[in-house]
Amino acid sequence: MTKIKLHNKYFKSYISAEKIKIAIDNMASLVEKECKNEVPIFIGILNGSFMFAADFVRAYKGNCEISFVKLASYHGTSSTGDVKQLVGLNENLEGRTVIILEDIIDTGTTLEEIYNIFRHQNLKQLKIATLFFKPDVFRKALHIDYVGISIPDKFIIGYGLDYNGLGRNLADIYQLTTHKMTNIVLFGPPGAGKGTQAEVLKDKYNLKHISTGDVFRYNIKNETDLGKLAKSYMDKGDLVPDEVTINMLKAEVEKNADANGFIFDGFPRTESQAKALDKYLEEKGESISGMVALEVPEDLLVARLLKRGETSGRPDDQDESKIRNRFNEYETKTSILKDYYANQNKYFGVDGVGSIEEITERLSTVFDKL
């Protein structure tokens, strides 16, 4: 599951169980090197650290002890939240190295209370290990010895962390999602002007325009690994595999992770590509909002492209038979994609004949709904 609902809020995948394991293994290895001549006692702070503590001691190869405590608030017989005490600490810690295992440290208020509580225990040393750390909101002049993963100040659940009691049992970490991206597949036959419209609409709706052609040219020009791989197929006259293309698009999306959404221009072109795009977005807790296709009569576009060919220098704009072959390929693939998105109630055809302003207005009517 990549997107979940707990109580009244939605959460999307953020940190995988695999990445968590790598972070814990690295922390455990470092602690082991620093404590190789002694037997430390690890103390997990309940409730959140129970998963972290269990996996940490499994990763720790040296001799050790472990205990769990819980912070509780007491004032006489009533809980006030003003005074913190440890519940469950029965071990004699005098002269011992104590390593606190915390699930997450943000402002440092709880950490400060832990330091105060252990200050009079006559320890050999007190060390702090936290799986997650939010440096942006940490406000205390206190030392943290071991950090697994530093994260922004976002609300997270999973792997012991909860939202009103739920979510602790999740293996991955999920992040609260506060907005839904608007992701549009903009389609149109050659010469329909979708590139021009994409430039207008991206500014109007604050979306990121991703042109497959531009992405290919960038990767090939800059000789990225994906660009070299794509060029190796193109040099042989072979089609670039879908996997290479989708990986290029993934890289573009990841570079703009905070975007309000994307206009995908020139991709997908086949049903298999559409399914690959859906799968990728689903992993991010997102989806395609709609496919918007500019509809223009073929004869009008042929005349438009032949006119463009007089100045563009593009040989494929100067031969009517080649132009009509491009339309035939477009119609074949578009009809398949039309059915694919129509079955999800996500296909929107828009009249692409008229001035740029008129077409933009028609497209905007659809975008507003999405």
Q: Annotated binding site for AMP, which residues? A: 212, 217, 238-240, 266-269, 273, 314, 326
- Is the pLDDT at 73 greater than 70? The verdict is no
User: Which two structure tokens, joined as six digits, stand for 323?
Assistant: 């132009």
pLDDT at residue number 52: 97
Pair 282, 2: CB distance under 8 Å: yes
Structural domain spans, the chain:
3-176, 182-369
Q: Is 368 helix (H, G, I), strand (E, B) or coil?
A: helix
The C-alpha angle 340, 346, 348, rounded to 5 degrees, equals 105
Q: What is the CATH number of domain 3-176?
A: 3.40.50.2020
pLDDT tens-digit map of 238-262: 778 888 888 988 888 888 877 888 9
Amino acid 147 reads V
- Which residue of the set 127, 134, 202, 269 is catalytic? 269
Long-range contacts of 143-146 (CB under 8 A, 24+ apart): 144/105, 144/111, 145/99, 146/27, 146/30, 146/31, 146/99
Pair 265, 209: CB distance under 8 Å: yes
Residue partners of 91: CB distance under 8 A and separation at least 6:
41, 65, 67
What's the rounded Cα separation, in Å, for the pair 330 and 246? 20
- Which residue of the set 70, 139, 279, 314 is catalytic? 314
User: Which two structure tokens, joined as six digits, stand for 226?
Assistant: 């994906």
Q: Reply yes or no on whether 346 is catalytic.
A: no
pLDDT at residue number 242: 86
Q: Reply yes or no on whether 308 is catalytic.
A: yes
| Helix segments in 292-319, DSSP class H | 298-312
pLDDT tens-digit map of 205-245: 999 999 888 888 899 999 998 889 988 988 887 778 888 88
Q: Reply yes or no on whether 228 is catalytic.
A: no
Q: Reply yes or no on whether 324 is catalytic.
A: no
Q: Annotated binding site for ATP, which residues? A: 191-196, 308, 354
Q: Reply yes or no on whether 194 is catalytic.
A: yes
Q: Same CATH fold, 182-369 and 3-176? A: yes
| Confidence bin at 75 (pLDDT 50/70/90) | very low
String of b and e for 343-370 (b: at least 16 CB within 10 Å)? Answer: eeebbbebebeeeeeebbebbbeebeee
| Whole-Å CA distances, 93 to 36, 98, 348 | 18, 8, 69
Pair 169, 16: CB distance under 8 Å: no
In the block, which residue shows the tokens 């009103």? 164
List, in sequence order, every residue forming a beta bridge with 163; answer none if it has no partner: 166
What's the rounded Cα separation, in Å, for the pair 111 and 104? 10
- Which residue of the set 308, 333, 338, 346 is catalytic? 308
User: Does 177 or 275 have the greater pLDDT score?
Assistant: 275
- Is the pLDDT at 104 greater than 80? The verdict is yes
| Confidence bin at 269 (pLDDT 50/70/90) | confident
pLDDT tens-digit map of 282-336: 877 788 999 998 887 878 877 777 777 777 667 766 777 777 777 777 777 667 8
| Confidence bin at 25 (pLDDT 50/70/90) | very high
Mean pLDDT computed over 180-199: 84
Closest CA to 308 of 188, 187, 193, 217: 193
- Is the pLDDT at 68 greater than 80? The verdict is yes
Q: Annotated binding site, which residues? A: 191-196, 212, 217, 238-240, 266-269, 273, 308, 314, 326, 354
Fold (CATH) for 182-369 = Rossmann fold (3.40.50)
**Strand order, beta sheet including 261-265:** 208-211, 261-265, 182-187, 290-295, 347-351
pLDDT at residue number 11: 86
| Confidence bin at 174 (pLDDT 50/70/90) | very high
- Which residue of the set 326, 333, 346, 362 is catalytic? 326
Burial class (CB in 10 A: 0-12, 13-18, 19+), 199: middle
- Which residue of the set 96, 127, 134, 194 is catalytic? 194
In the block, which residue shows the tokens 């697994």? 148
Phi, psi torsion values for 265, nearest 5 degrees: -115, 110
Percentage of the chain exceeding pLDDT 70: 92
Amino acid 56 reads F
Pair 327, 297: CB distance under 8 Å: no
